[in-house]
Structure 1
């Protein structure tokens, strides 16, 4: 763990952020008192194995970031035969599916 002062942090921010990226924790002091702690983000919870299996089988594609700003205004895919609605209704009718 590294301890630094506010002026040193301001002067060498990139260096300290590099340490944090590498997994180190940095304590920031002001007049001898700790006022902040810089630490790497906590890992997000693991995905359920069932979801990972669906990804391996090509049934789902896991997201990689934020949606585009115009996502909800984008044209929807065509489903002229109503297969998506049929699958949804079948799934809802099956008491064991969810």
Structure 2
């Protein structure tokens, strides 16, 4: 998320618009206080965070879930009379 003052926005509007085309949101500030936000056209109602998610999705860094719970395989059952301490000691010995 980038911020730019009003004067910087006037001087660098083309560069800021290019960054918005890439999916970035630009906050315009007046004396350090946010007064406006430049967001890409078509962003979901301008919701905070929605454009960042869309950008990550376009870059291939994020894949949105399908809404269903993930089913994991049950953990393996320990052998009868297994000792966690003994297993740890054996693992340490084998790593040497």
TM above 0.5, yes or no, is: no
Give me the TM-score of the superposition, normalised by structure 2: 0.43
**Highest relative contact order (Cα 8 Å, sep 6+), 1 or 2?**
2
Larger Rg: 2
Give me the TM-score of the superposition, normalised by structure 1: 0.42
